[in-house]
Chains A and B, each alone.
Chain A
Amino acid sequence: MKRKWKVSMVMILVLSMMMLSASATDAGASPQTMRIGVTVEVDSLSPFISYSQIGFEVFQLIYDSLVMLDENLETVPGLARDWEISDDELEWTFQLRDDVQWHDGVPFTSADVKFTYELLLENELGMYSGYLGGITEILAPDATTVVIRTEQPKANMLMNACPILPAHIWSEVTPDEYDTWPNSSPVGTGPFKFQEFRPGEYLKLVASDNTFHGRPGIDELIFVLYANTDTMAQSVVLGEIDAATNFSPSQLDTLDNNATIDAIAAVVMGFTQLSFNSWDDPSSTAHPLLQEFPVRHAIEYSIDKQRILDMVYSGQGSVGTTLVPPEGFYHYEPSESELRVYDVLRANQVLEEAGYMDLNGDGIREASDGTPLDFLLTLRADNADEVQAGQMIAGMVAEAGIKFNIETVDDGALIDKIYAGDFDMFIWGWGADLDPTTILNVMTTTQIGSMSDSNYSNKTYDRLFLEQQTIMDPDERREMVWEMQRILYEEAPYIILFYDNSLQAVNTSRWTGWTRIPEEGGYFFNLTNYNYLHVQPVAGVVDAAPDAGGGIGFAGMIIGGLIVAGVASFLMFRRRK
């Protein structure tokens, strides 16, 4: 009896090894599969719930919007094939394509647009509702016409990335369910159809035959979730995946040394900032000395941003100045006289001129009433880079006689502190749109307690903000946006530390036609779905992933042999003597 058990155990081992070593046989007409490694998975498949960048990326593949951006980030027709604006600039008429169908075969009509926009305007849910600000009325006079009315001219009407949802599906959802309904099998009009989402593993889309974009060169598109970037980098090299984003800088060189891989540091519309609490509300604990512009300026003068970039971010990114990142049309670059570049002498000089002296000789300057320049810097514990940057900054400002005490908290606790106005300063970052409205809005008074993270308030700024949204002439609007950034740079509620880079890699031996958007930008997460639509498989190259291990039979033999030998010797040991 006992011996039988032993024999069967060895049998099982041998069988399992044979199984491992059998060669891959899943042949057939293999689809062209593109696998993209990502480090964050979609937080939800519902556009009302998701707030993530990857969510944005996936929605623009499954769904379409009225207009979209091409490879030059210019507005081109989406679901709307044409549009015009009334003479008073308050009424937009969109002519929709008449041959579009939802993935389930139901025809797309103007009623879907009306339904989606009204639902978002009413409920203000999710990351897309902000695009619709200023719209007062949506009409659908016939199946292919949508008329949108606004109170004021709406400058960013054609920057609207809001996905159009199928009314025939979402009208079944009751309003109470909007913020929980998972939309677990999204139906869109976009170039890719949803197929499968396995949380913690991957999200799979397949090309749609039935789309105005034309059939993509990618048959199957899979976003593979990686829990660590070292393994992800190896997977790209091995061909297990065809592309990946969000590497750490140290992996970039390794990847770039590979002839078949193009690894890039893409410039993205985002920055990392040091935020000061500017709130004068009595409940706020904002440090009074931090409200003084010379103190803020001295802090900026004493920070060697480039050195932090080099030491903490391996040089990835660029030194930051103003609120709107430089890639866009609306970025304001401070003039030479305005610009505050790293200069410790200058920092000390600014403080001395403003009357901050170190009277008691403890190395920290004091105001005339004896209050020391002693502040609390709050950092996010789970962002090691920010923590390291914060520590370097604390060391740098000490050179100017300013003391930063550091505390680290988790994200949730920091958000609480911001809402409560209970902080001096902290470090984190923002991502921006091509249109500056969203990022400019962060600094308006109405956003205090909401999107504002510095509790900044300036009446001139607020007025300009409302006005710039309504200026249809880009150059005239830019003048206004520049003025707003000039105000912010002078009053410095933020010190913009760096503009961020995103590290991406693509396999150029298996896929061709990759385009960086914009020129210095990324292959993915660049506000367009251009690459997903235009990349083509290289003829004759077979998908490497399913049988990445050519020598698997041999490997199986060895590992199997080792285990069998181990178990056998264990059994023999027991039988012997």
Chain B
Amino acid sequence: MKRQYLAKKIIQSLVTIFFVLVFNYILFRVMPGNPLAMIMRNPRASQEAIERTRELFGLNQSWVVQFWIYLKHLFTGDLGISFLYRQPVTEIIVARIIPTVLMVGLAQILAIIVGVFLGVISAWKRGSRVDVAALGFSLVTYSMPTFWLGIILIFVFSVSLRWFPTSGMLTPGQSFSSTFAMVRDAARHLVLPVLTLSLVLIGEYTLTMRNTLLDVLTEDYMTTAKAKGFDDNYLIKKHALPNAMLPMITLIAINLGLVIGGTIQVETIFSWPGLGRLMFDALKARDYPLLQGIFLLITLSVIVANLIADVTYGYFDPRVRE
């Protein structure tokens, strides 16, 4: 039974991936605008030069042939050459993955820990001052515009207090005496973007956690368990949380899947060299190969994260397996 469930989920994911491939491919080609004009950017280009470029990027072939070539190259890890940067797409994307995952990943982890913690407390102490404070905090940060929050944090921590640098991932052009020095420099640069992003994310986790836990807490079996004389800590850990965690798993999985896509806003405020900004630049320049590469990466990670969520669900909730 379980193996079948797993196989079904994997096949579903593969089918989704294929449709995404086709969709991505078509999407960028029905967008208005001629990519050649963007590639050449040379009003003086001769007809031969134009032809050469068309050939180079495969634009002289029909859509179908181009799609076939695209699929073939995809399986060898070749995502093509970026129109904008004239470099292999894979190289460009790989260079941006580490900064993105580092920043967004850390922020997500921080937000999940704090969010779940706040959610549990406020559900357990519903109506108390702690609950009101946690709820207020979550709602305020949740609804705060990211850009504004980031600027405020820069103003407080960089401009007034001068504790952290305003932007970038490393002090630009600095040569470091040791790896330790470099890690320290990166860590200093990480604090504000991670803080900004996690503040914005905490609310979502807190509110979801609180609501689902509240639902569970009003279930009859909780009253029964309480009547049996279990202590509160045991009640929450063994009876309430396992059930309340189910929606959280989905939420966490989807959000972790989106980690790879970066966040355009935070990356823009702090000039972080992440994938979100790369995607935005690629979109502006109509850089099909690069866009396709990034979209593919993001969809893959979301699909994989969903697959993991499904499988974990099956593990946590026997009902799903049947």
Are A227 and B151 neighbours in the complex by a CB distance under 8 Å? Answer: no
> Which A residues are in CB contact (< 8 Å) with B87?
182
Are A220 and B173 neighbours in the complex by a CB distance under 8 Å? Answer: yes
Q: How far is the CB of A41 from chain B (nearest CB, A)?
A: 9
A240 within 8 A of B: yes
> Which A residues are in CB contact (< 8 Å) with B32?
409-410, 412-413, 416
Binary interface profile of A, 250-265, with partner B (CB < 8 Å = 1, else 0)?
A: 0000000000000000
Given A180-B56, A577-B233, A124 contacting B176 (CB threshold 8 A): no
A551 within 8 A of B: yes
A328 within 8 A of B: no
Q: How far is the CA of A556 from the CA of B157 in the complex (A)?
A: 11
A546 within 8 A of B: yes
Binary interface profile of A, 544-577, with partner B (CB < 8 Å = 1, else 0)?
A: 0110111110111001000000110010011111
B196 within 8 A of A: no
> Which B residues are in CB contact (< 8 Å) with A550?
162
> Which B residues are in CB contact (< 8 Å) with A570?
113, 117
Given A202-B172, A451-B44, A416 contacting B167 (CB threshold 8 A): no
B318 within 8 A of A: no
Q: How far is the CA of A198 from the CA of B175 in the complex (A)?
A: 14
> Which B residues are in CB contact (< 8 Å) with A232?
167
B146-191, CB < 8 A from A: 151, 154-155, 157-159, 161-177, 180-181, 183-184, 187-188, 191
Are A43 and B163 neighbours in the complex by a CB distance under 8 Å? Answer: no
Most chain A beta carbons < 10 A, residue from B35, B53, B95, B184: B184
From A20, A225, A226, A382, B191 is in contact (CB under 8 Å) with A20
> Which A residues are in CB contact (< 8 Å) with B43?
447, 450-451
From B176, B188, B274, B278, A549 is in contact (CB under 8 Å) with B188
B105 within 8 A of A: no
B203 within 8 A of A: no
Are B271 and A225 neighbours in the complex by a CB distance under 8 Å? Answer: yes
**Stretch with Cβ within 8 A of A (4 or more), from B58-66, B262-270, B303-311:** B262-270
> Which B residues are in CB contact (< 8 Å) with A75?
none
Are A549 and B95 neighbours in the complex by a CB distance under 8 Å? Answer: no
A150 within 8 A of B: no
A342 within 8 A of B: no
B220 within 8 A of A: no
Are A26 and B173 neighbours in the complex by a CB distance under 8 Å? Answer: no
Given A179-B56, A204-B173, A240-B166, A126 contacting B42 (CB threshold 8 A): yes
From A126, A235, A238, B162 is in contact (CB under 8 Å) with A238
B16-72, CB < 8 A from A: 32-35, 37-38, 41-46, 49, 52-53, 56
From B45, B180, B184, B269, A227 is in contact (CB under 8 Å) with B269
From A198, A200, A412, B34 is in contact (CB under 8 Å) with A412
Are B188 and A20 neighbours in the complex by a CB distance under 8 Å? Answer: yes
A360 within 8 A of B: no
Most chain B beta carbons < 10 A, residue from A196, A450, A546: A546
Closest to B231 in A: A577
Given A26-B181, A411-B284, A548-B162, A124 contacting B154 (CB threshold 8 A): no
> Which B residues are in CB contact (< 8 Å) with A176?
52
Q: How far is the CA of A574 from the CA of B46 in the complex (A)?
A: 72
Binary interface profile of B, 284-311, with partner A (CB < 8 Å = 1, else 0)?
A: 1010000000000000000000000000
A280-314, CB < 8 A from B: none
Q: How far is the CA of A237 from the CA of B166 in the complex (A)?
A: 11
Binary interface profile of A, 171-189, with partner B (CB < 8 Å = 1, else 0)?
A: 0000010011010000000
Closest to B33 in A: A412
Q: How far is the CA of A238 from the CA of B158 in the complex (A)?
A: 8
A518-567, CB < 8 A from B: 545-546, 548-552, 554-556, 559, 566-567
Q: How far is the CB of B308 from chain A (nearest CB, A)?
A: 22
Are A201 and B158 neighbours in the complex by a CB distance under 8 Å? Answer: no
Q: How far is the CA of A415 from the CA of B43 in the complex (A)?
A: 11
A187-238, CB < 8 A from B: 196, 198-202, 204, 220, 222, 224-228, 230-232, 234-235, 237-238
Are A416 and B33 neighbours in the complex by a CB distance under 8 Å? Answer: yes
Are B269 and A228 neighbours in the complex by a CB distance under 8 Å? Answer: yes
> Which A residues are in CB contact (< 8 Å) with B188?
20, 549, 552
B96 within 8 A of A: yes
Given A130-B44, A412-B33, A416-B37, A26 contacting B174 (CB threshold 8 A): yes
> Which B residues are in CB contact (< 8 Å) with A413?
32-33
Most chain A beta carbons < 10 A, residue from B81, B174, B273: B174
B248 within 8 A of A: no
Closest to A558 in B: B163
From B95, B177, B271, B286, A412 is in contact (CB under 8 Å) with B286
Are B166 and A238 neighbours in the complex by a CB distance under 8 Å? Answer: yes
A337 within 8 A of B: no
Q: How far is the CB of A455 from chain B (nearest CB, A)?
A: 13
> Which B residues are in CB contact (< 8 Å) with A412?
32-35, 37-38, 286
A49 within 8 A of B: yes
B3 within 8 A of A: no
> Which B residues are in CB contact (< 8 Å) with A129?
44
Given contacts A124-B49, A556-B163, 11 further A-B contacts (CB under 8 A): A51-B42, A180-B56, A202-B173, A227-B272, A227-B277, A228-B268, A409-B32, A412-B32, A412-B37, A447-B43, A576-B233
Which 10 A-B pairs give the minimum distances between C-beta atoms? A412-B33, A555-B163, A200-B273, A451-B43, A222-B173, A202-B172, A577-B233, A413-B32, A450-B43, A227-B268
30 A–B contacts, CB within 8 A, in A order: A19-B183, A19-B187, A20-B188, A20-B191, A26-B177, A35-B173, A125-B45, A179-B53, A179-B56, A180-B56, A180-B86, A200-B273, A202-B173, A204-B172, A226-B271, A238-B158, A382-B284, A412-B37, A412-B286, A450-B43, A549-B162, A549-B165, A550-B162, A552-B188, A554-B163, A555-B163, A559-B191, A566-B114, A574-B233, A577-B233
Query: What is B's interface to A at a CB cutoff of 8 Å?
Result: 32-35, 37-38, 41-46, 49, 52-53, 56, 81, 84-87, 92, 95-96, 113-114, 117, 121, 151, 154-155, 157-159, 161-177, 180-181, 183-184, 187-188, 191, 231-233, 237, 267-274, 277-278, 284, 286
